[in-house]
Amino acid sequence: MRKLYGLVALAGIALATACTDSSGPSGGTPQFSRQISFPDLQTKLQGLPANGAARAEIELPPTGLVAREVNVEDHQQVDDRETVRGRISALTVDAGGASGTLTLAPGFTVTFTSSTVFEAGDDMSLTLQQFVDRVQGALGQSPAVNLGVRAERSPLNPLALGPANAFPARKLELKPDLEHPKLKINVTQANLVSAGDGDCTMAALGVTPVGCLKVLGVTVGITNETELRAMKPGVLKAEFEGLVDCAKPIDASSFFLKSGAQVLVDEHTRVEGEGERGDDEHLTLAGVQTACGATPAPKIEAEGEGVLVSGNGEAPVIRATEVNFEREEDEAIEVEFTGMIDAIGSDNITVSGRVVRVDAATRIERDGDGDGDDNVALSDLHQGETVEVKAVVDATGALLAREIKVRS
């Protein structure tokens, strides 16, 4: 189980100043940033000390090279872990098998080694080879499945990566729910690209940019439609991640984390994923309230950011500007069995009378002619073949295959 933080990061000058700048729990949503122009961004980055950097949060749409948001934060944030998330479009493994490179759409490069920590979206620890097998299995399907991943870098040495440098991941976590690329990384004036230079052109981006940032080998366009912002002095920005406390009150305006922090939500809060997916994995606040009424209450993770409106010697209160709720899976019950394939569906197989679901993360292998096994698709299986199945049992008793091996 990954470590969850009730309050991950705070940035600002002083709590008293932050409370004055915000309206407090009873007012509207305080904003911790202000709108800026690309020349303002240039001035900010060019004014950094020689060994300094600024933390930038860059959000792109699911496709394309033009940022929909760029938020430049205060220098206090630069020592926090950097994160990059997106969907995997390619994977290469070095000859020795102990390191490799991921390409995340729209082209960000992330490297990993045998010392990288690997996890699946269900909090399952993976070996490097298991991680590679899952990603290769997904990419090998027709059409290819681009799994989501979240990469972390910490400690930050160097403080800021070069514009063309890959992101060296200390941790990689498969996250199937990711919808669009998002980066929280340090930048300097070396990352600036003026409009018309290099790939910062209409020909490369499809729209006319006012300027660009080159990060992890990709030139990200900034246009007049990009929400370009910088943090206000004196405001305490808070990033939070933790489990919702279902034992405490939940209503239309707030909830609590198990750490004790209270998170306030209003009509200005962006609930990430709301309206984008039809499953019950991503929840609205009303959905969280309903889910917490069950017995036993589920584990629901809340992740987001906002403004710290209190917390000086008392439990923190955060007014959220964005939040994402995700239902955590319970500890999996794992089963293994061998049998003959009775039937094959579009997303399942029946083995010796047992229906087994298959998803994008399921690894399917067939005995190869050489020393190893060959990765195959569900459509390559045949009735009557004997298979070994490793699966987990969900809360309804259904089986979900982690691994299927065809034996000759």
What is the average pLDDT score of the chain?
83
pLDDT tens, position by position, 350-388: 999 999 999 877 889 987 665 556 788 898 999 999 999
Whether this prediction's pTM lies above 0.75 is answered by no
**pLDDT of res. 19:** 35
pLDDT tens, position by position, 225-234: 999 988 776 6
As a whole number of angstroms, the distance between CA 103 and CA 16 comes to 44
Tell me, rounded to whole angstroms, the distance of Cα 31 from its chain centroid. 23
Residue 34 confidence (pLDDT) above 90: no
Residue 329 confidence (pLDDT) above 90: no
**pLDDT of res. 173:** 92
Identify the top-confidence range among 47-56, 81-90, 173-182: 81-90
As a whole number of angstroms, the distance between CA 233 and CA 45 comes to 16
pLDDT tens, position by position, 214-265: 999 999 999 999 999 887 766 677 888 889 999 999 998 999 999 899 999 9
**pLDDT of res. 286:** 86
Read off the pLDDT band of 303 (50, 70, 90). Answer: confident
**pLDDT of res. 120:** 85
pLDDT tens, position by position, 122-157: 567 899 999 998 899 888 877 788 889 999 998 888
